[in-house]
């Protein structure tokens, strides 16, 4: 049985961990490895390694740092298939979907490769007689990331490339459900020329998280996960003087107007709802059918849901793999049953699906629920599974009010042929990321990712310009270089531009 260990100061180590947890193959239900569960001592060892590395890494040239990122980016390309299969084996998503997440994460590495331009400061000449002002940004020190199971490569890649390229050192606490991708990436960083101690991995559960949130040597914490945990992370880390990025859960709506191409809309909503088995914080979990669009949309969505091919993630032609754990499978299937009991129409029932040769796998098929109301559990809760709820409204304005009343504000989409409707929607909706005829509006790496309301705790989105700001702090320098022969009298009044 393979044991997955921490990566601290450039090498694998069990550290002080005495407990382990099983890592399953979701397609078979079989245990395939054990991961060590670290705690305070392991976090402290990682902080000591990262602190020592920071002394030299922060003083390295920007050219040296970006060269490591160029090398790392190339290694991600060369090892994409291998890393994709590692992710698929522990998460359950298809290998194609795994490669897709690596590609989107690699875009942040490419953004980090260009930090020479982004980190340029500004200079103001002769603000007063013989006085100039300029500014620049410096790294914080040791920073940490706590990341979820659903994107074991992409979400960490939203964090550590920018943190490292700006001169920080990094400690990653990945999900213990699919931990191997983190160690694989640590090895790629070492091959890319990153000095030991700059990137570290500590595996574990809540004890490791709490140690990160309270350790005085960690200056900032980035987190992606559920809203209750995001609130906890924000509260604990800020109470211990740290900067915090805390991204929470979601309930993403796609609105379909009667003038939309229903076949186009249904095709993209199906992919957005059932891709990666719905285990995405940007998955479409609610389709809002407006007016006459409803019956036709449901008819096409039913057909497309039944066409989704469910199977092992490494099997060619598979559209959707299993859920990550048995508990996740049971939670999602129970939610479908509860929706039916509360009055929803189960148009497509994905429960009790068995895949030949993988009967013990954590599979559930796509479920489609119609006539869902905002009072139903299937609407109010983030199910994090392949369940699409249809809510019907009479008008676009009613749909906007419905979405704005939801406590989450991560992403939303509108399918329409009307520019006026699209403009009204994007201006009036209280959501952080919006797609117009785009189902899953995850922005490119040179923009920042972050929702509103309970989807973002605090005010720090992730990657892009906000990522640069988060992992650095500014200095402003005012200088005067008088001629040696010139005597300059000091004044006791507050300085002005005169």
Kindly calculate the radius of gyration of the chain based on its CA atoms and give it in whole angstroms: 25
Indicate the pTM of the whole model: 0.95
pLDDT score of 245: 98
What percent of the chain lies above the pLDDT cut of 90? 96
Confidence check: pLDDT of 415 > 80: yes
Q: What digits encode the pLDDT tens for the residues 310-346?
A: 999 999 999 999 999 999 999 999 999 999 999 999 9
CA–CA separation, 9 and 294 (whole Å): 57
Q: What digits encode the pLDDT tens for the residues 429-454?
A: 999 999 999 999 999 999 999 999 99
Q: What digits encode the pLDDT tens for the residues 121-139?
A: 999 999 999 999 999 999 9
pLDDT score of 498: 58
Phi, psi of 73 (to 5 degrees): -60, -45
CA–CA separation, 165 and 63 (whole Å): 10
The upper half-sphere exposure of residue 368, i.e. CA atoms within 13 Å in the direction of its Cβ, equals 21
Please list the residues that pair with 89 across neighbouring strands: none
412 within 8 A of 406, measured Cβ to Cβ? no
Q: What digits encode the pLDDT tens for the residues 159-179?
A: 999 999 999 999 999 999 999
One-character DSSP codes across 367-433: EEEES--TTSHHHHS---SSEEEEEEESSHHHHHHHHHHSSEESEEEEE-S-HHHHHHHHHH---SE
Task: Please report which confidence band the pLDDT of residue 484 belongs to, taking 50, 70 and 90 as the band edges.
Answer: confident
CA–CA separation, 377 and 462 (whole Å): 30
pLDDT score of 497: 63
Confidence check: pLDDT of 496 > 90: no
CA–CA separation, 49 and 58 (whole Å): 14
Confidence check: pLDDT of 486 > 70: no
Confidence check: pLDDT of 10 > 70: yes
Q: What digits encode the pLDDT tens for the residues 150-160?
A: 999 999 999 99
Task: Please report which confidence band the pLDDT of residue 490 belongs to, taking 50, 70 and 90 as the band edges.
Answer: confident
**Annotated active-site residue in 171, 172, 181, 281:** 281
Across all residues in the chain, what is the average pLDDT?
A: 96
Confidence check: pLDDT of 489 > 80: no
Confidence check: pLDDT of 89 > 70: yes
Q: What digits encode the pLDDT tens for the residues 27-58?
A: 999 999 999 999 999 999 999 999 999 999 99
pLDDT score of 359: 96
Taking the CA atoms of 331, 335, 341 and 347 in sequence, report the sign of the dihedral they define.
negative
pLDDT score of 11: 98
Choose among 227, 184, 207: nearest CA to 90.
184
Confidence check: pLDDT of 485 > 80: no
Helix and strand numbers (H, E) in the chain are 17, 23
Choose among 60, 50, 17: nearest CA to 218.
50
pLDDT score of 494: 72
Say whether 113 is catalytic: no
Cβ count within 10 A of residue 487: 7
pLDDT score of 491: 72
pLDDT score of 488: 62
If you average pLDDT over residues 283-308, what whole number do you get? 98
The DSSP H or E segment spanning 184 is helix 180-191
């Amino acid at each position: 049985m393979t044991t997955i260990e921490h990566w601290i100061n450039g090498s694998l180590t069990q550290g002080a961990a005495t407990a382990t947890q099983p890592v399953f193959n979701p397609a078979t239900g079989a245990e395939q490895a054990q991961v060590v569960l670290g705690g305070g001592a392991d976090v402290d060892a990682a902080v000591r390694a990262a602190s020592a590395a920071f002394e030299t890494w922060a003083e390295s040239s920007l050219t040296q740092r970006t060269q490591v990122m160029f090398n790392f980016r190339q290694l991600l390309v060369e090892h994409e298939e291998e890393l994709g299969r590692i992710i698929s084996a522990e998460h359950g998503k298809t290998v194609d979907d795994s490669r897709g997440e690596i590609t989107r994460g690699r875009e942040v590495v490419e953004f980090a490769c260009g930090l020479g331009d982004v980190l340029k400061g500004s200079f103001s000449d002769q603000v007063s007689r013989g006085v100039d002002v300029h500014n620049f940004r410096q790294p914080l020190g040791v920073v940490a990331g706590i990341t979820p199971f659903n994107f074991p490569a992409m979400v960490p890649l939203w964090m550590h490339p920018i943190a490292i390229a700006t001169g920080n050192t990094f400690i990653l606490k990945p999900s213990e459900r699919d931990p191997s991708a983190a160690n694989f990436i640590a090895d790629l960083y070492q091959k890319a020329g990153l000095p030991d101690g700059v990137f570290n991995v500590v595996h574990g559960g809540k004890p490791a998280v709490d140690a990160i949130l309270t350790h005085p040597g960690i200056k900032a914490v980035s987190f992606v996960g559920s809203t209750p945990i995001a609130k906890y992370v924000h509260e604990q880390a800020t109470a211990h003087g740290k900067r915090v990025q805390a991204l929470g859960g979601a309930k993403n709506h796609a609105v379909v107007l009667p003038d939309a191409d229903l076949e186009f809309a249904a095709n993209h909503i199906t992919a957005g709802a059932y891709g990666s088995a719905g285990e995405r914080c940007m998955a479409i979990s609610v389709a809002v059918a407006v007016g006459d669009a409803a019956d036709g949309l449901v008819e096409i969505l039913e057909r497309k849901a039944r066409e989704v091919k469910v199977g092992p993630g490494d099997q060619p032609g598979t559209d959707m793999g299993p859920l990550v754990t048995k508990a996740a499978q049971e939670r999602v299937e129970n939610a479908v049953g509860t929706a039916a009991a509360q009055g929803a129409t189960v148009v497509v029932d994905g429960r009790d699906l068995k895949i030949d040769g993988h009967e013990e796998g954590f599979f559930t098929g796509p479920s489609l629920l119609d006539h869902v109301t905002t009072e139903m559990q299937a609407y109010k809760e983030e199910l994090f599974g392949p369940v699409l709820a249809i809510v019907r409204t009479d008008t676009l304005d009613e749909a906007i009010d419905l979405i704005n009343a939801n406590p989450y504000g991560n992403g939303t989409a509108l399918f329409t042929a009307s520019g006026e409707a699209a403009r009204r929607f994007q201006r009036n909706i209280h959501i952080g990321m919006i797609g117009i005829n785009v189902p899953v509006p995850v922005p490119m790496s040179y923009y920042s990712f972050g929702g509103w309301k309970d989807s973002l705790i605090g005010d720090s989105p992730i990657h892009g310009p906000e990522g640069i700001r988060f992992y650095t702090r500014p200095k402003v320098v005012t200088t005067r270089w008088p001629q040696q022969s010139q005597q300059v009298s000091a004044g006791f009044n507050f300085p002005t531009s005169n």
